[in-house]
Structure 1
């Protein structure tokens, strides 16, 4: 019965869950009809290794309207400002000490927003480089069909062996949690954002009460998308014009990335954690166990069909990241890794350490 339940779950996921596995949509380069002023805000804390090429890619956008880049230096100690360089389109703000109740990134963004005047705002992480056509393409999608917020899952670094095995799965699991087609459908309650690149109308941000509305959120992109979608359409897709240059060369780097917010995703709930473990077991482990340990009866063939659907669903993501299709066979092991990291995230929270990022510990809420 458990094998049959796993099969039914995969029938639903593959055919009825917003076609999450398609690894789509992706914006193609486009020229906007209008050219609203845009302020690009980049929060940065100790980003000396990446900030130079990031700022260079932003100030050199091929956008026909007026735009500027506002770099908010969040008390960096590694020479981030010096590495950013100087440009007539670049404004550098020295961040104030973080107030209690805010996450670090949102506190920095709030200061950039206060210094901005443009009707359209773009939020970019300090490890994302942008094709010169990117801003124009984002504005074009904001205009037609009209959206209040446009965000993209940028292409993540995928060169080391740990990245090749684990990073495409990170994107794939995100799509499974938040099918992009459902997030983009106004009638659906699903809302998702990808914080590496966000374009938002100032009026939409003011409508929800400003960035202060989500000031303590650690998963700020999805929190922002959820608030914005209550009053207007949003869009999320994959990006072929923006790339993360932050490397994750070791398994522990990816482990730390997951443990930072995994339990936050579960609302710090032990019940949700148990449910997540049970769900991951049903989705990823039951079918391989049936194949390996049930002989050649009906359980074997049902497990084979279930695992086949799972592997097929992963192929478009592997294709996007130019990885061999046989990596799909490693999905059960990858799922175990993510399951263990989620449990570790909960343990960290219960021990009082909570989320750790850039020498800051957040615990159960931003401090």
Structure 2
């Protein structure tokens, strides 16, 4: 057998396993679990870390101020050293829209060993726990807009299922060409790494959350020691879920219907930076894991179309058939995510192109790290955790 035949059959075998053995990651029907309204609605404190978010805040903060929540509710927006007037704008929006009380605070520069977002979350959580008797904390990003019943549904799901952490993957914006190429695949790859059904299995080993929308029980946060226990994490949402699960908490993760990101990504550059800033951290800054990942991406996503083209040109039937079948399974598993994002299905066969872009982003993430610019975001660059003070 030729090397091309071996690679094509290996790719087909990999896609057979991904289709049936990876927690049915490709299905998009994981919505909030069954829930009934509680007899008494618990108090909730919303914590919003924000750094230079004046562009998106007028589209997101009013949705929090307009929450139709029957219980006590208070919002804490932590202005993390913004230079664009984020804090002043937040106060102005609260004055214009009314709603629950809004506190705007600033924690100053992060202490050594802390990432900026988690430093802001720490400050917001401390204020919320000190000033309120909130049973739940809603940790949400400044670019996330919530439907009017979003918080009510999250609390009902947590109470009904006895869940300590309920997280929804916000529907990201998909308008421009590059958003269509990159964004649905971003969620598809995330679900492939952390299949939602495995995350939601009681006592399961897989743990993950989506940082844009996390409802966290107060007692679970204290028991897990967050955010102090994950203060160096660049991928803070997954680290948060792991900390809660390790401490005995029950977690849940799924796709959102009425929680959306309003952040625009007008070109490839911003999307590239979004992925590459944390890709190497996901691989634990390990060159061997990087090499294995690059090889895996090449075999799984690039080999099928290469095998089809090479098989057609050389008349090799096995690579042509195996590559074609693998490519078909790849496109078929991607189609549900495209439907979820209301995108045309002709994008599904183009997933190998997006896979190549993600491969290059991952390599670039490692290169930037070794140049001392890894995990850079909004003017800050973070060291690898074991090198942090």
| Common topology (TM > 0.5) | yes
CA distance in 2, matches of 1:284, 1:108: 38
User: What residue number does 2:289 align with?
Assistant: 272
User: What residue number does 1:97 align with?
Assistant: 109
User: What residue number does 1:233 align with?
Assistant: 250
Q: Structure 2 matches for 1:330-345, cutoff 5 A?
A: 330-345=350-365
Residue among 220, 223, 231 paired with 1:204: 220
Structure 2 unaligned segments of length 5 or more: list them: 1-5
User: What residue number does 1:114 align with?
Assistant: 126
User: What residue number does 1:255 align with?
Assistant: 272
| Cα offsets for 1:172-218 (capped at 9, x unmatched) | 01011110000111232111100000000111111112310000101
User: What residue number does 2:52 align with?
Assistant: 46
Runs of 4+, deviation exceeding 3 Å: 28-31
User: What residue number does 1:218 align with?
Assistant: 234
CA distance in 1, matches of 2:202, 2:296: 28
User: What residue number does 1:66 align with?
Assistant: 72
CA distance in 2, matches of 1:255, 1:52: 25
Give the match's secondary structure for 1:5.
helix
User: What residue number does 1:189 align with?
Assistant: 205
CA distance in 2, matches of 1:120, 1:175: 26
Do the aligned residues in 1 keep the contact of 2:226 with 2:243 (CA within 8 Å)?
Answer: no
| Cα offsets for 1:275-310 (capped at 9, x unmatched) | 101110111111111110023512211111111111
CA distance in 1, matches of 2:242, 2:137: 18
Q: Does residue 148 in structure 1 map to residue 164 in structure 2?
A: yes
Residue among 295, 300, 303 paired with 2:323: 303
| Cα offsets for 1:137-159 (capped at 9, x unmatched) | 00011112111101111000100
Instruction: Kindly state the Cα deviation for residue 24 of structure 1 after the two structures are TM-superposed.
Output: 3.0
Residue among 170, 175, 178 paired with 1:162: 178
Residue among 191, 194, 203 paired with 1:178: 194
Instruction: Kindly state the Cα deviation for residue 312 of structure 1 after the two structures are TM-superposed.
Output: 0.3
Residue among 340, 349, 365 paired with 2:369: 349
Q: Does residue 358 in structure 1 map to residue 374 in structure 2?
A: no
Q: Does residue 13 in structure 1 map to residue 29 in structure 2?
A: no
Which piece of structure 1 moves more, 142-151 or 28-37? 28-37
Do the aligned residues in 2 keep the contact of 1:59 with 1:68 (CA within 8 Å)?
Answer: no
Q: Does residue 56 in structure 1 map to residue 68 in structure 2?
A: no
CA distance in 2, matches of 1:29, 1:250: 39
User: What residue number does 1:78 align with?
Assistant: 84
| Aligned positions, number | 367
CA distance in 1, matches of 2:361, 2:291: 14
Instruction: Kindly state the Cα deviation for residue 30 of structure 1 after the two structures are TM-superposed.
Output: 6.4
| Cα offsets for 1:12-51 (capped at 9, x unmatched) | 1001110000023123896631411000000111111111
Instruction: Kindly state the Cα deviation for residue 97 of structure 1 after the two structures are TM-superposed.
Output: 2.1
Instruction: Kindly state the Cα deviation for residue 106 of structure 1 after the two structures are TM-superposed.
Output: 0.4
CA distance in 2, matches of 1:356, 1:249: 20
Give the match's secondary structure for 2:151.
helix
Residue among 25, 48, 54 paired with 2:30: 25
Q: Structure 2 matches for 1:308-319, cutoff 5 A?
A: 308-319=328-339
Structure 1 unaligned segments of length 5 or more: list them: none
| Cα offsets for 1:235-282 (capped at 9, x unmatched) | 000111111000001011111111110000000000000010111011
Do the aligned residues in 1 keep the contact of 2:164 with 2:220 (CA within 8 Å)?
Answer: yes
Q: Does residue 287 in structure 1 map to residue 304 in structure 2?
A: yes
CA RMSD in angstroms, aligned pairs only? 1.5
Give the match's secondary structure for 2:152.
helix
